[in-house]
Amino acid sequence: MKTEQTVRHYRIRARQIIKRVEHDIGSNQPTLYELAQWLVENQPVMSKSTWRQYRAALICFFADEVNQSADGQRAIALLRATDTRQCKSHGTQTSAKKLKKISLADLEKLVVYFLVRENIRYGTETLAWLLSGLWTGLRPAEWQSAQFVKNNDGEWALYVQNGKNSNGRSHGNRRIVELSNMNEGELGVIHLHLLNIATSRNEGVNFVTFYNRCRDCLYGANLKIWPNRSKLVSLYSARHQFAADAKCCGLTQTDIAALMGHASIETAGIHYGRRVSGRGGLKVSAHPGDVETVRALNVDRRKPESSGLGLG
């Protein structure tokens, strides 16, 4: 049973965490699940004791404030399903420890690492997830409900439930990522990734647990390949690299927002990978309906639309 003093301390700590998340993700209204996801993704830069305290503070805050809303229940489930294996034995001074790009050299080292070491648990699943994220730009959490289907023209596409729609930061409930320019090998990797998620679910492993295991596997690969590196490649790094590649290709802000599920055409430019880190070669395209939706949402913006040439 928590004392009143403990609950009061947790509430203060939760408000501090919320302000930090608002700064990190550039939003003054993060969802409860975004708060939980931020904490999970920042494990590598926190000590175990600090992370446990933050987790307890958020769970207490969620239970006290959300009255068991669906978003709150998902957030609490995510935190309770995550242990402290990725935490450092001692904390670090900054949370900016995740790379916002994946260079070709780093990608090649990761591919070799996972392919050569065939006995790595969840190695194949982690590699498929990383590559699929690089090619499509999906948020890690969005793979939970993504569907691999053929469109009306007989071409493959991903139907994705947008991850930030609950707080108005996406352009709608769903987006379509068209895969018509992908070769059979690339399509096979995406199909394998979705099959891995479905298989784990059928075996009684929920999505959050499967995600945690792949994330842990990638973290371990980072430590093996680059033991002295301060910034780490994460599954979310793939989305940043996707944004950088889209900017490098010269896609308009509207097209990039449609592909990434953003409501604002400025989000990718401010918060995601820089154009100078891009390599081009994008093999996906936004659905025309999504592009029109984003354009309609941004008609009142005063600045003229540009291509994705900004450094953001």
Q: Are residues 149 and 74 in the same domain?
A: no
- In the listed set 64, 80, 96, which residue is the last one of a domain according to the structure? 80
Domain with 150, as residue range(s), is 104-297
- pLDDT-above-70 percentage for the chain: 88
Tens-place pLDDT, residues 112-144: 999 998 789 999 999 999 999 999 999 998 999
Q: Are residues 170 and 269 in the same domain?
A: yes
The more confidently predicted of residues 244 and 28 is 244
pLDDT of res. 166? 61
The verdict on residue 303 lying in a domain is no
What are the backbone dihedrals phi and psi of residue 133, each rounded to the nearest 5 degrees, phi first?
Answer: -65, -40
Under 8 Å between Cβ of 185 and 197: no
Asked whether the predicted pLDDT for residue 95 surpasses 50, the reply is no
What are the backbone dihedrals phi and psi of residue 76, each rounded to the nearest 5 degrees, phi first?
Answer: -65, -40
The verdict on residue 61 lying in a domain is yes
The verdict on residue 218 lying in a domain is yes
Q: Are residues 171 and 32 in the same domain?
A: no
Average pLDDT of the residues in 208-218:
92
Average pLDDT of the residues in 41-64:
85
Average pLDDT of the residues in 176-200:
96
Q: Are residues 37 and 182 in the same domain?
A: no
pLDDT band at residue 10 using 50, 70 and 90 as cut-offs: confident
Q: Are residues 291 and 207 in the same domain?
A: yes
Asked whether the predicted pLDDT for residue 94 surpasses 90, the reply is no
Q: Are residues 61 and 206 in the same domain?
A: no
Asked whether the predicted pLDDT for residue 207 surpasses 80, the reply is yes
| CATH code: domain of residue 118 | 1.10.443.10
Using only C-alpha atoms, the chain has a radius of gyration, in whole angstroms, of 19
Asked whether the predicted pLDDT for residue 54 surpasses 70, the reply is yes
Phi-psi group of 25: left, alpha or beta (phi > 0 → left; psi -120 to 50 → alpha; rest → beta):
alpha
The verdict on residue 312 lying in a domain is no
- In the listed set 65, 80, 95, which residue is the last one of a domain according to the structure? 80
The more confidently predicted of residues 299 and 201 is 201
Q: Which residues contact 26 (CB under 8 A, 6 or more apart)?
A: 267, 270, 271
The verdict on residue 95 lying in a domain is no
The verdict on residue 91 lying in a domain is no
Q: Are residues 220 and 280 in the same domain?
A: yes
In the chain, at which residue ranges do the beta strands (DSSP E only) sit? 147-150, 156-161, 174-178, 285-286
Tens-place pLDDT, residues 249-293: 999 999 999 999 999 898 888 788 888 999 989 999 999 999 999
Q: Are residues 61 and 119 in the same domain?
A: no
Angle between helices 104-116 and 123-136 (to 10 degrees): 150
Q: Are residues 27 and 160 in the same domain?
A: no
Domain count, the chain: 2
Under 8 Å between Cβ of 46 and 87: yes
The verdict on residue 307 lying in a domain is no
- In the listed set 80, 113, 136, which residue is the last one of a domain according to the structure? 80
Q: Are residues 117 and 55 in the same domain?
A: no
Alpha-carbon torsion, ordered 209, 210, 213, 215, to 10 deg = -110
Max avg pLDDT among 16-20, 137-141, 206-210? 137-141
Q: Which of 118, 132, 32, 108 is nearest to 77 (CA)?
A: 32
H, E, C per residue of 68-135: CCHHHHHHHHHHHCCCCCCCECCCCCCCCCECCCCCHHHHHHHHHHHHHCCCCCCHHHHHHHHHHHHH
